[in-house]
Every structure is written in structure tokens, then in C-alpha cells.
Structure 1
Amino acid sequence: MGLLRFIPIKLTLFLVLGILVGFYLDISLIPSLITVLVSFSVLVFFYFGTKNTKSIGFGVFACATITCLGVLCISYAQPKNRFAHYTKNDFRGSHVWSVKVKEVLKANTFSDRYIVAVRHLDSLQVDGKLMLNIKKDSSQNLLKIDDELIVYAEIKSIRPALNPHQFDYADYMKKLGVYHEIRIQNSNYVLGKQASTTILGIAAKARNHIISKLESADFGKDELGVIKALLLGQRNDISEATYTNYKNAGAVHILAVSGLHIGIVLFILQFFLKPLELLPKGKTIKLITVVILLWGFAFLAGLSASVVRAVTMFSFVAYALYLNRPSNTFNILALSMFAILLFINPLLLFQVGFQMSYAAVFAIIWIYPLLQKSWFPKNIFIRKVWQLLAVSVAAQLGVLPVSLFYFHQFPGLFFISNLLVVPFLGLILGTGILIIMLSLFDFLPPFVVFAYDFMIKTMNAIIAWVAQQETFIFKNISFDIVQLCISYLLIICLVLALSKASFKKWAIFLSVVIGFQFWTFYTSYQNNEKDTLVLLHQNKNSILIYRQGDSAQVFSRDTITEEHRILSDYSIGERIDKIRFSKIQNSYTFTDKKILTLDSAVIYPPQLKKTDYLILTQSPKINLERVLDSVQPKYIIADGSNYKSYIKRWEQTCTQRNVPFHYTGRDGAFYFKQN
């Protein structure tokens, strides 16, 4: 592949390899530092010994050094590997924690949530990040970035996913460098009066000031939520219905200040600042001005991680445009990725937004020119429509495998929503920036507010119409990590074969197609061989699933449907096609194992002896010791429908009687063994 001739792309690929190796092998800081020093020393020896940078030995150790640098980079970025991290001390039990708010997260039904930086553990100066959950109270004001708190509390590990194929919030937070959380009431902290100010705090204050100005204008509620997301990266106020419409229409990227928005802002600036090129050193002045204004926009958007990433990437793109060498675009883009991962945060590599941004941009700069060459309509209107469609297709090809892997759905009418909205997104963003400036000077005419509100309302209506065409929304698509990798290989081989056809390229492409089919058949065969019984966790309900091949029978206490989130995640992950529903029963036989279910009615066959598994549901009022003597279970499982006080008492009894005890609310779903 011709792209691999570029040195920055090679460097970036090996840096990414090192980050992946360091993260998944969990290599600590000292060994990774030693390997970097050793590999770099050997590289220096090869350079001065051979004086030939094109030798195989020099190339091998150059790649090894960059890979080891990636390992060191991710090891240092992992908070637990730092010597001053709070986990290096005894943090069990309740302690006095001094923390500083770094990020305001979207609140859930029960609590307001924040990411806080740890400053002190009791009297010790430490660092690290925690998630702070404060129970909702309408009488209390929300915390702001840079607020400092003194909290006396016990930190706990963030609860991992309890059911198979469920979104693992603990793993998500781990990839943000957060391992524990604090849960408190509003009255359980002391707010510092003289908190130090950081640039993030200044940016957040600027954004909040702009939001207060916009809220005082006469925008509709839904329209204001979209405006905040479009211009300021604040998606917390978007209604669930509006967000779902954008997701189903394949236009959710419009609601995040990311690569698309920064790219549009860049080209708007390139257009309006073009007269600067007439000045002496005009191109250089224009480049500096564009980069400063891009970072100014990032500042107004609160300097969130996604915005900083996008502005960094397009600062490099602005430099590529300054050089006016299209062949350098890949180099510049790879260098931006290298810089972001090396100097800003290598953990960004594991975030979906980062992956989709770079996948989309790489696809656009590689595939879009090829689509342009394939057809050049003479009619200017048709040509512009074709250009826009080509950009949308290229971007969707880039993000399709990632989207299927994470979200398991594909909006078939994505090109319609993009065709109808994206051409006007520059106008929407440009007008929005103008409105922000006018509102800051308290000079925002009502007719401008009305016109912009109508513009956003029209965009929402178009998106809602596209989202209503449910026939074209392909949902519940099972897609694993192997299919993700093969799909990208398939796209690369197809583009190469179409761009410059040859027998070898088409043979490789067809081989990858066969490989994809083979993996699909293999996973289908594996699914048909599966025969499992699992008890899931859900509060106030009991869900038992017997899965045989591609069908499943769901036994539950309360009625649920296939659309239920827990069941939907399970059926997608396990590739289940047919589901039947039944009420949960008192006894089962799985292979040769006997299973007894005791609920609040406490009814079980008295003749049933030596049960293998005893499931306790609906908080049965029983003397567990008598039950143990009566049915002699080998294993006891309590699901999420039981009172926690009962569970604690049952666990103590099982510990005394040396009987294994499993609570789904702590230990996760329970798989019944066949042997």
C-alpha cells in the first residue's frame, strides 16, 4: 500500500501498536522505561556504527523504539502507575478527600455526576481522578469546574457490567483514567471558598456565560438544546427524543463539536481570511490567524477532550493547506494523531469519538478523490450534489465498521439526512458564531433569534422525518472485533482494487471476502452448538434465559419484551434470532442438574432432595439453615429482586455452612454449569 511509504504513518502505526500492547498487557512504568532506553541505545549504536539509516537493522530498531515509546506513553498515562497516585496508599474505609472538579458529566435520574481530581487523601498530597456522585437536591446549586471540595467518605470501585454484553461503564471510565467513585448526599461536603483557577475553569465560565446569554433569548427548548450542542459542545440539554431522531437518521455526528464542525469552521476561516495572502508573508499570517481562531473556538466550546482533539487535528490540516501539497495530507494527519496520542493523552485511542473522527477523515481524504475521478458531471448543480454525496459515502465507509461494532445499527438513509443538512451546516455554524458574538455584546435583535430558531427547527424536522422511515434503519446487527478488523481490510482492498485494478489486487480482495464469510459461518456454527442457562441481574425482577442454538426461552417474574435493554444486548451479543417468553417456574432440570427457585410464596416440592442450585427471588421469608438441611443445595444464587438486608443475612449463613453464595447485584449474571 502506497501510504505505508510515508514515515509519519509508519511512526503512528507503531506508536498505536505500542499503546495497545502496553494497555492490554498492563505493563508498569519502570519496565517500559527500561525497554525504551535499551531499544533507543541499540538504535543509536546502529546509527553511528553503520551510518546507514536505510539498513534493515536500523529500520527494525527504529520501529521497536517507537513501539516501546508507545508502551511507555500509555504506562505513564495510566494513573495507577504513577507514584503519587492515591491507590499507592491505604484508601480503604472512610477518609477525608480534598478534590477539585475537572468535568461536569450528564446527570442521571438520581444524582449529579462529576469527574474530580484528587489533591489530598487525609494529610497526604496525592493525585488521581474519581467520579463524584451527589444525590439530586433541588435546593442545592450544581458544582462548577474548578470548585474545590472537602469530602469525608469511602470510595468504591465503579460497578462493572453485571450482565453479558451490557455496556461496561467501569471499563469506559477506566479508559478515562478513573477507577473509583464517591457517593454522597448534598450535605456531606464542604465547598472551598478560594479555589484556584485553571484554564479549563476559565473556559467553562466563558461557555456558561454564553449559555446564560442564549437562554435569555427567545429560543425554543429543543432548539436551544441543539444550539448548545452545535456551537458549545454541551449535549446535556438535548431531549431524548431529539437525540434518538438524530441517531436513527445517521446524523448524530452533527450534535457533537468534533471533526465535522471544526473542519467547516476551518474552511470558513480559510475563505474569509484569503485577502491576507495579498500581504507580505500573508500566507504565514493567515495560517497563524486561522490556528489562533480555531483554538479560540475550542476555548468557547469549553476545551472538552473531543474539541481539543479535533482542533489539534485540524491545526495540522491547516498547516497542510498552507504547504499546498495534497500528497502531504496523509503525513500531516498521521502527525496530528501521533502528537495527540504522545503529548495530549494516549487513552484517547480507546474512545469511540477519536476512532470515528480519524476513520472518517482518513476515508474522506483517501476515498473521496477517487469517487470524484470516477464521475465528473457537467451540470454544476448535479456536480455539487454528487460531491456532497461522495463525501458522505466516503465518511460512512470509514466509520461503518466502528459504528456496527459499538452501536449495532446502520441508518440506511444517512445520505439523505447528510444531503439535506450538511450543505447548510456551514451557514448554521457561521450564523451561530455570529449570534454568540452579538449576544455577548447584548445586541441580539429578535428577528435574528427568530430566523435562527426557525433554521434549527427546520433541521430538527428534516432529521425527524428521515428517522421516521424505520424500514431503512437496520438494527440489532451482531458485529464482533474480528468482523471489525476484517471489514476494514475488506474496504482497503476494495478501494485499492477499484483505484488501480490488477489480478493480484482483486485476488486479495476476494480472499478477504472469503475470510469474512468463513468467520461468519464459523461463528454461526459455534452459536448452533451453544446450550446455556444464565440468570441475569435486574432490580425487582428475575430473568432466567435458556439458550439453545440461535433461539432462547426467557423466564421472568415480570413481563419484559425483546426491546428491553438487558435482553436486547444479550440477544445481539449472542446472535439470537428467536425468543420465547414464559413465567418463571419453581423447578428446572438443566442437563442432569436440579434447580429449585424459592420466591415469596416459599413453595417447593418437599420430596425434592439434594438440589444442585437454589435460586432465591422476591425476598422469601425463610429460615435458610432449615432450607439448607432440607434440600441440601450445592450452590445458592440470589438475584436482584431481593432485599439487601436479606442477602447479607443469607451470605453470612452460607459462609458459616461453607456453601458457595452468588449475588447477581455484586457478582454479575450466573451461568449454570453443565458438568
Structure 2
Amino acid sequence: MFVAFLKRAPFLRLILSLSAGISVQLYMPFNPLIVFTAAGLLGVTLFVFQKLPFRFRFQYDWLRGIVLQLLIVCSGSLLVYQSDIRRSSSYFDTLLRPTDLLIATVGEPIQQKARSYKTVVNVRHIIRDNRSIRASGRLLVYLSKDSAAGTLQEGDRLLIPSQTTPVQHSGNPGAFDYRRYCSNQQIYRQAFLRSGGWRRLPGKEENPILQVIFQCRQYCLHTLQQYIGGREAGLAAALLIGYRYDLDREMVQDYTNTGIVHIIAISGMHLALIYGGLLWILCWWPKHRFSEGLKGCLIILLLWAFTLLTGGAASVLRATVMFTFITVGKFMLDRYTNIYNTLAASAFLLLCYEPRLLMDVGFQLSYLAVLSIVICYRHTYYLFQSSRRWLDKLWDMTALTLAAQVLTLPVCLYYFHQFPVFFLPANMLTVPLSTIVLYGEILLLIVGGVPVLANGTGYALQILMQWMNRVVSRIGHLPGALITDINMHPLGMICLYSCIAGLLIWWLHQWRQGLLVALTGLALWSISLMLSHINEQYQHKMVVYNIPGHTCVEVIQKHQVATAGDRDVMRSDSLYNRYLRPAHVLYGIKQQLNIDSGISGPAFAGLQILSLGQKRLVIVDSALPRIMPQKKFRTDYLLLSHNPQVDIRQLEQMFDVGCYIFDASSRLRNIQQWKSDCYMLTLRFFSVPDQGAYVVNF
């Protein structure tokens, strides 16, 4: 049965092998020469195999299949290597000289941060000695807040200096790895531009297709803002074209807490609604000789136009490729394909185009949700049937919502560490409302040139979205609405998937061994949790966090933590949730203690000395005492914070230091001077802003 299923869906085998090759190259990169050699040997093996007698080939055909799968694994690895922009001869960072200038175009809307504006630019040319050198690559840019930076738009051309730095990762335990996130989007460098340090050039992006897309997007945003307005206009833009830059933060948090953030993140659901609307409209098209082919071409054209308008998110690309295959089969080939094969084929094509999509959370959740619905929806729906139409529709929505959660749950727990308890009623209420809103927005864009109709439509949409937001907010603030701080390790996620797979096999195919698979997965998960708890019982760590402008040191012993440094880090919910809470979840922290500290005589007045088991940490955050000690004070770590006016040579006269630590509360120029002094004196040091949080076991 399983072999017959694979024959009907050959792309399933291909996508598994391709994904394995991509994963290996991303996490354990091999030299391309080794991969090329392996691929060549596999190709020679296939050639020799074809020359063998037919009887031998028939008997050992399984060997040919293994060689083919390994060849696809090698192809996946080579795709990752070949698609890396840093390998390109025109990549800007490999061509730059210190005196060069860059011409770049703004590729994303300007995002307002606490102390700057943020955007991503596409480098087009390098200016060197009045010459223009064509270049490529994406650059993360932060601009000082001023009136000029705030008016930048997509497509604007900028002249900027060539001084860039690698994209940084905070390195804080359990924190989101922003550097890996950027690398998956082929962004490896960043630049900080002060006021007056850059210039806007006349003209816009020269690509006519991008200009049309930008104009269409601006029309959508202007129409929604004009006739809907307020925070609802930002929600409307996110629902329609995936423009999330004007969303209210509290609103996003409410939708996240109720498990319906997929509604405001443009996804396959939105494209399915548009596809259904197109089918309904085109069903009135009179039939003639070429009508079906023209319908298919028009649907495909409109779907891809919408995809470009939304920016080509991974989930939208998946849905567009899938619906393209379905449309071609239905309208042009007059045949229906295997849904599993269509799903795998769309993933295969997208990964061939951009292999790093495999690591995109939206890409993973999108495919898992569709696969989960395909596997579980029909069987869940048949568990209960009613002759009453309204009850049948209600159960149909319930079955669809529950089916979508089956395969997405482990990934959601792994990435987001929380579970929305009331996701079912939230989806039941908001999905129909968001469907009405989406169709209403399309109608609003059509009648935007008729103010009377546009005002009425916009007012109705605003009232509907206000009511939807109130419902979501109330559900999200119910007692026990959100289970947080779920620490799901990769091994636990794999074990949970094995449990789900075993139960599904037992339920759908009546295979009793599926229960054994599920129980085995549950046992392994329990063992992994037990080992994790044992490890937490014996952990002794010191963490110097990477928090810009702040000092925070934590001493972790078993399930207890003691914190030293700036008090506002613990008092501020935003700082705690962003920097400390992920580490506390990762290490299983349950109790806060007072840290042991003390002052060792007048020679060390004003210095905080922390005991770390058999080790010591000295925190220097001000000028050193004038009284010199008679004997050097031995300390394993010395932390310089908040720009103390000290010299490394002076510290060497007072302390016998194992390692100097410079945290993110000091200015970069001071840290650079301390690093230079340590290099001169051959001293060990660790720079938290450059290298990430300092974590040590003691």
C-alpha cells in the first residue's frame, strides 16, 4: 500500500531527499569539492548500473533508487552553495574599498524603532573614482531619526558610505537568533547612517515591473487609509496585501495570544479565498472552444500578480504554486492530480528557486497546515454528522480548525513556546468575519473612485473590524487563555511528531502497531524531559547578558537565579520579556534569589564582588578607589560596565584577572580602546556587543 502511494506521489521522495541535502549544507556545510566528487561518483554508479544485465538490474533496482536519492541529496547541498549571494562575483562586500560609496534602492517600507529607522536596501552600484561598478546584495540599514529619513519610500535611490559591519546576534540564551534569520534572507551586513551621512538621489527604481507593483500597493494603502482609517486601516492592509508595518502592537499581541495570527499574516487562506472568488466570477464566462484555457491563464495571471503585490511571502508562494498546478490540471489538461504530489511538487520547485525557504517558519507552518488538513479533515468531519444545515456547517468549521492544528502544534510549541487555549472559538468567530472583510476590501478598491459607495463600504468595514478586534481582545484576556513558557527541545518535537504519526496511522489505517510507535515516542519524550530536569538540577552558570545600554549579570544554580546589575532591567516588563525570560524558560528557572556580594576593604570601596562557587566576578562601573591594595586581588572575571574612566594598565596593578568582560552598557569607542589595550598586554577578554552574551559554567 505504501509503495503504491509513493508511485502516485513521486515528488514526496524527491522533496524528502532535497530537504535533507539543504539541511545538511545549512547546518553542517561541506566543501563543495567533496559534494561534487560524491555526486560524480554517484553518477558513474548509475551509468555502470545501466550497462549491467537486465536480470541484475531488475533484482537490484532498489539500489538504483538509493543512488538516485543520494544524488538528489547532493543536489540540495549544491543548491545552497550556489544560491549564496556571497559566492557571486558582483557581491558588494567582496568588491568594496574603504573610500567607496554605494548606490542602493530602498527595498522595504521604513520601520520606526525606538531610536532609529530601519529598512533593507538593495545595492545596485559601487562608486569608485567617478566610476560606477555594478554590484548586488542586500544590506540592513539603520538611519538616525530625522525628517529626511522618515519620508523615505520603497524604490528611493540612496547614496551611502561603504562602512558596514556583520549583522549581530545578541547571543542571549534562548533568544531569537536574528543573525540566522537575516542570513536566511541573504542579508549578512548592516550599516548605521547618521543624519547627513547619506543622500537621496533623484529618480526611483528603474525596474518597470517594480514601479507598477509599488504604485498598486500605494493605491491600496491610500484607499484603505482614506475610507477606513485609524488602527483598522493597518489591519485592513495586513489582511489584504500583507502590509504589516502599520499594525498596532497591542492588536498583534491579542491575535497572537488567541492563536489566530495567521489572519493578519497573509497566507494560503487569503489566496484560497481569492481563488474561490475568481472561480465564482469566471463561472459566468460563456463556454466556447478556448474558454477553459483562457480562464486558466487569467486565474494564474491574477494569482501571481497578487503574490507580487504582497511581497512574495513563503506561505503565499506555496499557495500560488499549488493553485497554479491545480488550475493547469483543471482548465488546461482536464485532469485532477494527487494532492500529496501537488503539495510536494510545489515545495520542490520553491526550494530549487530558494533553498533557504526551508528554514522559514511561515514556509514550514504553511505546508504542515495544508498537509494536516488533507490528512485529518475528512475523517474528523465524518465523526459527527447532522441533518441540520447550520449545525453541519458549524461542525465543518470545527473539524477544519482542529485538523489544521494536528501537525502544526509541535512546531508552534518549539518556535513560540506558548499554546492558546481558546484557539478554537477564536478561529470560529474571526475566520468568517475576516473572509467578509477581505471580500469587502476588494469591493472597496473597485469602487474607490466613487466616493459615495467607497465611504459606505469603508464605514461598514471599519465597524466590522472594530467588533472583530473587541472579540479577539476579550478572548485573549480570559483567565487561562494562554499557556506560556513551554520549553520544547528539538528532540521533544521529534518525539511528539512520532506520537502524532503513530496515532494517525492507528486511527486512519487501523494499524495496531501505530499505537506502539506512539507509545515509543511518548517514552522517548519522557526520557528526554527527565534528562533535561536532571541537567537543570546540576547546572551552575553565569550569564552576562547583551542588553544595549544596560548591565545584567545572572548566577544560575539549579532552578534558582540571582541577578546583579541595573534594577530597571528586572522592573521593566518589556526588557525582562525580551532578554531574560527566554533564558529563564530555557534553564527552567523557578525562583529568584538575592545575590551574594560584598566589599573587601577600603581599597575596593564602590566595587561589587560576586561569589560564583569557587570563582569571583568583580564589576567595575565607576572610577577606581584611590587607595591601592598592598596585594593584587585575585578574580576570575572582571566586568567593565557603564563607561568607567579606567585604564587596563591601572586595573592590572590592582587585580590579577583571568578574563576581562566588556558588556553592552559601555560605548563602542571605549570598548575598542580596552580591546586594543588587552591585545597589547596579551590579556584574555570577551566583548559582549561583538561576541554576544557571555555564558560560562562554574
Instruction: Give the TM-score normalised by structure 2.
Output: 0.89
Show the counterpart of 1:636: 660
What is the CA distance between 1:574 and its match in structure 2? Answer: 1.8
Show the counterpart of 2:420: 411
Structure 2 unmatched runs, 5+: 599-607
Offset from partner CA, 1:51-106 (integer Å, 9 cap, x none): 768812321122122212211221111112233323444x3635222323333363
In the alignment, structure 1 residue 39 sits paired with structure 2 residue 42: yes
What is the CA distance between 1:29 and its match in structure 2? Answer: 5.3
Show the counterpart of 1:461: 470
2:637 aligned to 591, 610, 613, which one? Answer: 613
In the alignment, structure 1 residue 340 sits paired with structure 2 residue 350: yes
Show the counterpart of 1:181: 190
In the alignment, structure 1 residue 589 sits paired with structure 2 residue 611: yes
Larger displacement relative to structure 2 (624-633 or 49-58) = 49-58
What is the CA distance between 1:139 and its match in structure 2? Answer: 4.0
In the alignment, structure 1 residue 113 sits paired with structure 2 residue 113: no
Superposition map of 1:376-415 within 5 A: 376-415=385-424
In the alignment, structure 1 residue 202 sits paired with structure 2 residue 212: yes
In the alignment, structure 1 residue 158 sits paired with structure 2 residue 133: no
Q: CA 1:67/1:101 → structure 2, altered by over 3 Å: closer, same or farther?
A: same
In the alignment, structure 1 residue 95 sits paired with structure 2 residue 105: no
Query: Would you say the 8 A contact 1:551–1:579 is kept in 2?
Result: yes
Q: Distance in 2 between matches of 1:591 and 1:303?
A: 53
In the alignment, structure 1 residue 72 sits paired with structure 2 residue 78: yes
In the alignment, structure 1 residue 671 sits paired with structure 2 residue 692: no
In the alignment, structure 1 residue 451 sits paired with structure 2 residue 460: yes
Superposition map of 1:119-130 within 5 A: 119-121=124-126, 122=128, 123-130=132-139
Query: Would you say the 8 A contact 1:155–1:181 is kept in 2?
Result: yes
What is the CA distance between 1:352 and its match in structure 2? Answer: 0.8
Q: Secondary structure at the match of 1:250?
A: coil
What is the CA distance between 1:28 and its match in structure 2? Answer: 5.4
Q: CA 1:588/1:647 → structure 2, altered by over 3 Å: closer, same or farther?
A: same
Q: Distance in 2 between matches of 1:673 and 1:339?
A: 45
What is the CA distance between 1:673 and its match in structure 2? Answer: 5.1
What is the CA distance between 1:363 and its match in structure 2? Answer: 0.5
The letter for the 2-side match of 1:665 is: P
Q: Distance in 2 between matches of 1:484 and 1:321?
A: 38
The letter for the 2-side match of 1:599 is: D
Larger displacement relative to structure 2 (156-165 or 11-20) = 156-165
Offset from partner CA, 1:587-612 (integer Å, 9 cap, x none): 12323223322232646994772222
Q: CA 1:532/1:301 → structure 2, altered by over 3 Å: closer, same or farther?
A: closer
Q: Distance in 2 between matches of 1:287 and 1:187?
A: 52
Query: Would you say the 8 A contact 1:200–1:303 is kept in 2?
Result: no
In the alignment, structure 1 residue 20 sits paired with structure 2 residue 23: yes
What is the CA distance between 1:262 and its match in structure 2? Answer: 0.7
Larger displacement relative to structure 2 (2-11 or 274-283) = 274-283
Q: Distance in 1 between matches of 2:61 and 2:684?
A: 61
Show the counterpart of 2:261: 252
The letter for the 1-side match of 2:440 is: T
Q: Distance in 2 between matches of 1:638 and 1:133?
A: 24
Larger displacement relative to structure 2 (470-479 or 269-278) = 269-278
Q: CA 1:492/1:636 → structure 2, altered by over 3 Å: closer, same or farther?
A: same
Q: Distance in 1 between matches of 2:25 and 2:433?
A: 43
Q: Secondary structure at the match of 1:541?
A: coil
Superposition map of 1:262-411 within 5 A: 262-276=271-285, 279-280=288-289, 283-304=292-313, 306-319=315-328, 328-343=338-353, 345-411=354-420
Q: Distance in 1 between matches of 2:535 and 2:97?
A: 44
Offset from partner CA, 1:502-539 (integer Å, 9 cap, x none): 33121111111111111111111112121112222223
The letter for the 2-side match of 1:558 is: R
In the alignment, structure 1 residue 513 sits paired with structure 2 residue 527: no
The letter for the 2-side match of 1:369 is: R
What is the CA distance between 1:31 and its match in structure 2? Answer: 5.2
The letter for the 2-side match of 1:25 is: M
Query: Would you say the 8 A contact 1:132–1:183 is kept in 2?
Result: yes
In the alignment, structure 1 residue 500 sits paired with structure 2 residue 509: yes
Show the counterpart of 1:488: 497
Offset from partner CA, 1:265-295 (integer Å, 9 cap, x none): 2223233333448555655444333222222
The letter for the 2-side match of 1:115 is: V
In the alignment, structure 1 residue 9 sits paired with structure 2 residue 33: no
Superposition map of 1:517-536 within 5 A: 517-536=526-545
The aligned length equals 671
Query: Would you say the 8 A contact 1:277–1:286 is kept in 2?
Result: no
What is the CA distance between 1:330 and its match in structure 2? Answer: 0.8
Larger displacement relative to structure 2 (462-471 or 224-233) = 462-471
Offset from partner CA, 1:7-55 (integer Å, 9 cap, x none): 1111111111111122223345565455545534543553465676881
Q: Distance in 1 between matches of 2:609 and 2:533?
A: 31
Larger displacement relative to structure 2 (659-668 or 403-412) = 659-668
Q: Distance in 2 between matches of 1:365 and 1:10?
A: 18
What is the CA distance between 1:623 and its match in structure 2? Answer: 4.8
What is the CA distance between 1:342 and its match in structure 2? Answer: 1.0
Q: Secondary structure at the match of 2:504?
A: helix
Show the counterpart of 1:564: 577
Query: Would you say the 8 A contact 1:32–1:75 is kept in 2?
Result: no
Larger displacement relative to structure 2 (604-613 or 154-163) = 604-613
The letter for the 2-side match of 1:18 is: G
Q: CA 1:493/1:664 → structure 2, altered by over 3 Å: closer, same or farther?
A: same
Q: Distance in 1 between matches of 2:597 and 2:382?
A: 62
Q: Distance in 2 between matches of 1:77 and 1:242?
A: 37
Q: Distance in 1 between matches of 2:12 and 2:77?
A: 18
In the alignment, structure 1 residue 55 sits paired with structure 2 residue 91: no
Larger displacement relative to structure 2 (198-207 or 515-524) = 198-207
Q: Distance in 2 between matches of 1:145 and 1:33?
A: 40
Q: CA 1:100/1:601 → structure 2, altered by over 3 Å: closer, same or farther?
A: closer
Q: Distance in 2 between matches of 1:237 and 1:294?
A: 24
Larger displacement relative to structure 2 (163-172 or 26-35) = 26-35
Offset from partner CA, 1:379-427 (integer Å, 9 cap, x none): 2222111111111111122221111111111111011110011123332
Q: Distance in 1 between matches of 2:385 and 2:293?
A: 34
Query: Would you say the 8 A contact 2:444–2:454 is kept in 1?
Result: no
In the alignment, structure 1 residue 216 sits paired with structure 2 residue 221: no
Q: CA 1:536/1:226 → structure 2, altered by over 3 Å: closer, same or farther?
A: same
What is the CA distance between 1:460 and its match in structure 2? Answer: 1.1
Q: Distance in 2 between matches of 1:330 and 1:664?
A: 48
What is the CA distance between 1:307 and its match in structure 2? Answer: 3.3
Instruction: Give the TM-score normalised by structure 1.
Output: 0.92
Query: Would you say the 8 A contact 2:329–2:336 is kept in 1?
Result: yes
Structure 1 unmatched runs, 5+: none
Q: Distance in 1 between matches of 2:110 and 2:344?
A: 31
Query: Would you say the 8 A contact 1:203–1:301 is kept in 2?
Result: no
What is the CA distance between 1:190 and its match in structure 2? Answer: 3.7
Q: Distance in 2 between matches of 1:582 and 1:590?
A: 10
Q: Distance in 2 between matches of 1:128 and 1:313?
A: 29
Please tell me the root mean square deviation across aligned C-alpha atoms, in Å: 2.8
Q: Secondary structure at the match of 1:595?
A: strand
% identical equivalent positions: 24
Q: CA 1:42/1:381 → structure 2, altered by over 3 Å: closer, same or farther?
A: same
What is the CA distance between 1:570 and its match in structure 2? Answer: 0.7
Q: CA 1:262/1:521 → structure 2, altered by over 3 Å: closer, same or farther?
A: same
Query: Would you say the 8 A contact 1:317–1:333 is kept in 2?
Result: no
What is the CA distance between 1:448 and its match in structure 2? Answer: 1.6
The letter for the 2-side match of 1:591 is: G
Q: Secondary structure at the match of 2:660?
A: strand
Query: Would you say the 8 A contact 2:540–2:557 is kept in 1?
Result: yes
In the alignment, structure 1 residue 229 sits paired with structure 2 residue 242: no
Larger displacement relative to structure 2 (156-165 or 382-391) = 156-165
